[in-house]
Each structure stands twice: as C-alpha cells, then as structure tokens.
C-alpha cells in the first residue's frame, strides 16, 4: 500500500530526512535478525534530532533501544562529550544495538544498559547520571505512566520528554479497549491532562509507519 501519507513521508524524507549509511545498515542488521519493525521512521528520527538540538541536549535518556536506530539519530547531534543512555530489556536486542552503535562509530556517545526500565532508572538516579536534557520513552506500553513520572524525577526545568506510540491507530479513542498497550497509553494521556509539572501536547503522526502519535512535553520552570 502506498498511501498519500507514505508518499508525502518519502517526499519529506528525500528533502530533509536522509539516513546516513550507518542507519541504513542498522535497519538491515535488524531485518536480518528478524527484530520487530518498530523503530521510529527516518523522518521521526530527524524530528528527535531537531528536539535534541532545540534543548541543547548533552545528556539523553532513552527507554527501549531495540537495534539503536533512534539512539543513533539522537547521538549523532550530540557534542563529542554528550551521551545517550539507552535501556533495553532484551539481551539479543541489546547485542544487535551494540553492533549497530559500533558500526556507526558512536561507542563513546552511547551507553546501552541491559535491564528493565523500572529497575534501571533508580540505578541511574543513585549513580547521579541525571538530570537528563531529553528523555525518549519507547519501551513497553503498560507502565508508560510510571516511566513518565520517573522521567520527571530525572529531569530539570526545560527537559523535553517524548513518549512514542500514544495514539495506536486511533485505538486510544476506545474507552472499552481491553488491549493492555492501549490501556497503558490511555492512562498516561489522561494523567497528563491534569499534570502541573509539564506543558504537553500530543503530535499525531502518519506516514510510512502506522497512524500513531507522540507526547511532546517540556518540564516547567
């Protein structure tokens, strides 16, 4: 299927979202090892870069690495002393991610932590790794609210927090949904409507990936 949304996504990508060879190779390695096709799209990777630059990021936290596709987009715009810490639960995914990061020449900027996000975040706090300038939440969906609350804890005023996949083909509209991923993002979206600590919106996304959306939030001063 080549919808108008896909065609326009390719149009934007050809102008402004070109992948460099290390990103193309990262996707190829993920395909070869049959990792799920759920990385951000090229234009979404570029969008994450724009946000990282907008908040002058040097320290970024990512929950959910998969093959490090989004991680590489982010790390590329960090200064040489900058760092992305990316948390991945699945050891095989983390191995593929490490290979992609090394191939991209970004080992010095990307720290992949193996473990469950809810367990790793307290460790990062104890280590004094925060506060992070940008936090990208993209791991399992049921605990998205708890991830977001931890993200605030690891933030400073002005930190940008992004949460991927919060619209899920519009399934968030179904208040009777029994899908635990849908229920997880519904819980976050509703909580944000009364949260005083951030200023947030949801950007609806269409294109080469399914109809979805990202929370874009900034931590209040």
197 binds ligand SAH (CB under 6 A): no
Residue 218: half-sphere exposure toward Cβ, Cα within 13 Å: 8
Which residue lies nearer to ligand DHB by CB, 100 or 165? 165
Which residue lies nearer to ligand DHB by CB, 133 or 138? 138
Q: Which residue matches tokens 């596709």?
A: 69
212 binds Mg ion (CB under 5 A): no
186 binds ligand DHB (CB under 6 A): no
Pairing label, strands 212-219, 160-164: antiparallel
What is d(CA 78, CA 84) in angstroms, rounded to the nearest whole number?
9
Rounded to a whole number of angstroms, the minimum distance from the CB of residue 199 to ligand DHB is 24
Q: Which of 59, 76, 93, 109 binds ligand SAH (CB under 6 A)?
A: 93
Q: Which long-range contacts (CB under 8 A, 24 or more apart) does 186-195 make?
A: 187/144, 187/145, 188/144, 188/145, 188/148, 188/163, 188/215, 189/215, 191/145, 191/148, 192/148, 192/217
Q: Which of 138, 139, 161, 202 binds Mg ion (CB under 5 A)?
A: 138
Q: Is the peptide bond before 131 cis (omega within 30 degrees of 0)?
A: yes
What is d(CA 26, CA 28) in angstroms, rounded to the nearest whole number?
5
Q: Which stretch binds ligand SAH (CB under 6 A): 59-67, 122-130, 170-178, 208-216?
A: 59-67
Q: Which residue is nearest to ligand DHB (CB)?
A: 38
What number of chain residues touch ligand SAH (CB under 6 A)?
19
3-state SS, residue 18:
coil
151 binds ligand SAH (CB under 6 A): no
Per DSSP, the residues of 127-154 read: HT----SEEEE-S-STTHHHHHHHHHHT
38 binds ligand DHB (CB under 6 A): yes
Rounded to a whole number of angstroms, the minimum distance from the CB of residue 124 to ligand SAH is 13
88 binds ligand SAH (CB under 6 A): yes
133 binds ligand DHB (CB under 6 A): no
Q: Which residue matches tokens 């970004």?
A: 106
- The DSSP secondary-structure symbol of 69 reads H
Which residue lies nearer to ligand SAH by CB, 77 or 220? 77
Rounded to a whole number of angstroms, the minimum distance from the CB of residue 209 to ligand DHB is 7
Binding residues vs ligand SAH (CB under 6 A):
38-40, 63-66, 69-70, 87-90, 93, 116-117, 138-140
């Amino acid at each position: 299927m080549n919808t108008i949304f896909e065609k326009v996504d390719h149009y934007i990508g050809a102008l402004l979202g070109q992948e460099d060879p290390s990103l193309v190779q990262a996707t190829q390695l993920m395909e070869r090892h049959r990792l799920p096709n759920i990385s951000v799209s090229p234009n979404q990777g570029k969008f994450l870069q724009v946000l990282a630059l907008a908040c002058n990021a040097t320290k970024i936290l990512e929950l959910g690495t998969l093959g490090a596709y989004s991680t590489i987009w982010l790390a590329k715009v960090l200064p040489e002393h900058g760092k992305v810490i990316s948390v991945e639960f699945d050891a095989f995914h983390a191995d593929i991610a490490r290979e992609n990061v090394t191939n991209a020449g970004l080992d010095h900027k990307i720290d992949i932590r193996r473990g469950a996000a809810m367990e790793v975040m307290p460790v990062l706090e104890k280590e004094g790794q925060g506060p992070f300038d940008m936090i990208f939440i993209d791991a399992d969906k049921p605990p998205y609210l708890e991830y977001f609350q931890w993200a605030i804890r690891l933030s400073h005023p002005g930190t940008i927090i992004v949460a991927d996949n919060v619209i899920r083909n519009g399934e968030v509209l179904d208040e009777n949904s029994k899908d635990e991923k849908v229920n997880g993002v519904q819980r976050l979206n509703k909580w944000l409507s009364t949260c005083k600590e951030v200023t947030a919106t949801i950007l609806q996304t269409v294109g080469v990936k399914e109809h979805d959306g990202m929370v874009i939030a900034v931590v209040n001063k």
